[in-house]
Amino acid sequence: MLKKVIVLSGFALLSVSCVSKKKLTQAENKLEMRDAEIAKLQEENEICEDNQTSMEDDLMMYQAQIEKLQDENENTLRLSEDGSLESPSTRNKVNRILSQVDDSRLAEAENFQDSLNIAFEENIKASLRNKLGENAEYADDLKVKVHQPMVEISIGESILFKSGSAFVNPKAYQLLKHISKILQSESTMMIRVEGHTDNQPVTTNTYIKDNWELSLKRSASVVRIFQDKFSVDGSRIIASGRSHFSPISDNSSAEGRQQNRRTEIKLAPDLKTFMEILGR
């Protein structure tokens, strides 16, 4: 009888021990899941803070340039209340620029300001494409968008980088040198260089962890070229990366992903000075 009691007691203790161990394992698993969730939320918070900083920097850049443009002299592109250009010299410059633009593009304009923006886009694009050299076959991967006072120059991966790499192709130096002249033309102009990727994971076993790191490293590489090779003041340049979260095309196709892999240079120049530099 005593032996049975001892055996039963042993089973009871063993059962309690198993239950306790199971509960402990469950608790540990919950704790790990909670830690992982906290880490994810912290990462998302950091991304939000980075995006907020980026937007604040953009706002400061826009405000500074708007104040500058408000002090333009009579030779700067400016419209009067009736929509006409104020100075004869300005009208002559604009007419010359507009005459170089294809009629089909000008037909896209809804008003005179749109016509000016399209004219600047086409002239800037043509000037920059002339500097592609050995990359001339990728001319379509260089795009320009003008929304005065902002100018956005978009350079495709095929021009600047090899796939998955953050090292600038030396063939692109001539193009970046030409852009650097624009960046140096105004000592107070702020410049933002943004790296963008598609939504495909970065190839494993490389020195780059993910698309966030790839986009940031690429923008930093371009900034270093501007600063170290072409002497642009680094204090005026902001390097940022958007990973795949700001696409301009559909990531479901190879063509769309190619368009999304790009580096954008955003600036707010005096367009009169800008066009003079591009004409050199």
Q: Where along the chain do its domains lie? A: 1-71, 132-278
- Cα separation, 260 vs 120, in Å, equals 23
Give pLDDT, residue 222. 98
0.85 exceeded by the pTM?
A: no
Helix (H, G, I), strand (E, B) or coil at 234: helix
What single DSSP character describes residue 72? -
Peptide bond into 149 cis (omega under 30): yes
Residue for token pair 């907020």: 52
> What does 155-214 look like in DSSP terms, one character per residue?
EEHHHH--TT--SPPGGGHHHHHHHHHHHHS-TT--EEEEEE--SSPPPSSSS--SHHHH
- Cα separation, 35 vs 37, in Å, equals 5
- Cα separation, 240 vs 231, in Å, equals 20
Give pLDDT, residue 66. 59
E runs forming strands in the chain = 142-147, 150-156, 191-196, 237-241, 262-267
For residues 234-266, one letter each, b for 16 or more C-beta atoms within 10 angstroms of the residue's C-beta and e for the rest, the string is eebbbbbbbbbeebeeeeeeeeebebbbbbbbb
**Regions of the chain where pLDDT drops below 50:** 2-5, 7-8, 13-14, 16, 72-76, 79-86
Return the number of other C-beta atoms located less than 10 Å from residue 280's C-beta.
7
Q: Compute φ and ψ for 71, nearest 5 degrees.
A: -100, 20
- Whether the CB-CB separation of 189 and 267 falls below 8 Å is answered with yes
State the sign of the Cα–Cα–Cα–Cα dihedral 98, 58, 216, 253. negative
Give pLDDT, residue 255. 95
Class of domain 132-278: alpha beta
Helix (H, G, I), strand (E, B) or coil at 146: strand
109, two tokens: 């304009």
Residue for token pair 């059962």: 15
Q: Which of 250, 242, 263 is nearest to 54 (CA)?
A: 242
